[in-house]
Amino acid sequence: MPTSATVSAPGKLFLLGEHAVVYNGSCLVTAVDSRLWLTLTADESSTSPTLTINAPDVGLANWTCPLKESFFRPAYQGPSSFIESSIAVFHRRYPFHANLKIETRSDFGANLGLGSSSATVAATLYALSVVFNADLSPEQLFAMGVEAIQNVQKLGSGADLAAAIYGGTIYYLNHYPRQITPLKIDSLPLMVVYSGEKAGTVSYVRKVAELEENWPNVISSVIETMFTVVDSGRERLLAHDWVGLGQLMNIQHGLLHALGVDTLSLAEIVFAARRSGALGAKLSGAGGGDCAIILVDDAHRAEVRTALQHKKILDVQANAPGVRTEKRD
């Protein structure tokens, strides 16, 4: 008899430390309540197991292949890549023989830069853990997830994956061994605005790497300053010093602009928000598009919303729970 599980994993937003975290640095990242939902069904009665994926957000409809192909691909590419890589990583540690059917839907889609690939990896591994009684700890999920992501894109700090698994707001240190420190905060007064442009994380990470290769002394100084911004931001966040945190967000945006990852659309959002009374505003993520985040108190929230009414303001809340099992309809 088929066994199934429905799980969900949150999206993420970088508060501070984008790009610095790639260089063995740190960041502050928060999970958001827009989630990726995944249902996995396993049928162990088949003699020739297959993998079927329905993932409309990435253009897959009843996509099917022999399961063994997913286990042993020389490279993982295309819209099925993160799911297939996750299955292969799980199977190497917990071998199984079953038809798999995976269906996903996303509250935020694949275009907003909220971490759809990391949420997909976290949800796939967690669902496999539930269905096959692996009882994986967050630490085990994270280690397997990093491997699954690097099988696809060879890059990545793991910070967005940590947010998807652990949830809440975390201080993430990308040293070896990596450190994931949940921060106890009750709320975070953020507004999230989509720039209207889809950005490619890997391409912008490579762009900064090329800049660092050409100007190592200059770019290393920018990255080092980001480390200090993150550590100061952690203190301000825990103290609920929103004025101080907002100032650090503004500084971080300036440093990201120096790295060449800002865009006109993002800058328009950032400066409109600041003019309207926001405590701080910056791009969130690798840059080149996706979302800007705005730290704003209740007294100025309506004014900021009015100033950005021509943009797409996302209805998301920060500090959301990590990957979890969901009740099925």
pLDDT in tens, the chain (329 residues): 569 999 999 999 999 999 999 999 999 999 999 999 999 999 988 889 999 999 988 889 999 999 999 999 989 999 999 999 999 999 999 999 999 999 999 887 665 556 689 999 999 999 999 999 999 999 999 999 999 999 998 777 899 999 999 999 999 999 888 899 999 998 899 999 999 888 777 889 999 999 999 999 999 999 999 999 999 999 999 999 999 999 999 999 999 999 999 999 999 999 999 999 999 999 998 899 889 999 999 999 999 999 999 999 998 999 999 999 998 65
Least Cα distance to 50 among 114, 123, 99 occurs for 99
Could you tell me if 161 and 118 are in contact, meaning their C-beta atoms sit under 8 angstroms apart? yes
Query: Tell me, what's the pLDDT at 110?
Result: 60
Strand order in the sheet with 280-284: 280-284, 291-295, 190-194, 312-314
Q: Domains (ranges, CATH) in the chain?
A: 3-185 (3.30.230.10), 190-314 (3.30.70.890)
Per-residue exposure over 231-247, b if at least 16 CB sit within 10 Å of its own CB, e if not: ebbbebbeeeebebbbb
Could you tell me if 195 and 291 are in contact, meaning their C-beta atoms sit under 8 angstroms apart? yes
Could you tell me if 272 and 299 are in contact, meaning their C-beta atoms sit under 8 angstroms apart? no
Residue 224 CB contacts under 8 Å (≥ 6 apart), including other chains: none
Q: Letter for the amino acid at 103?
A: E
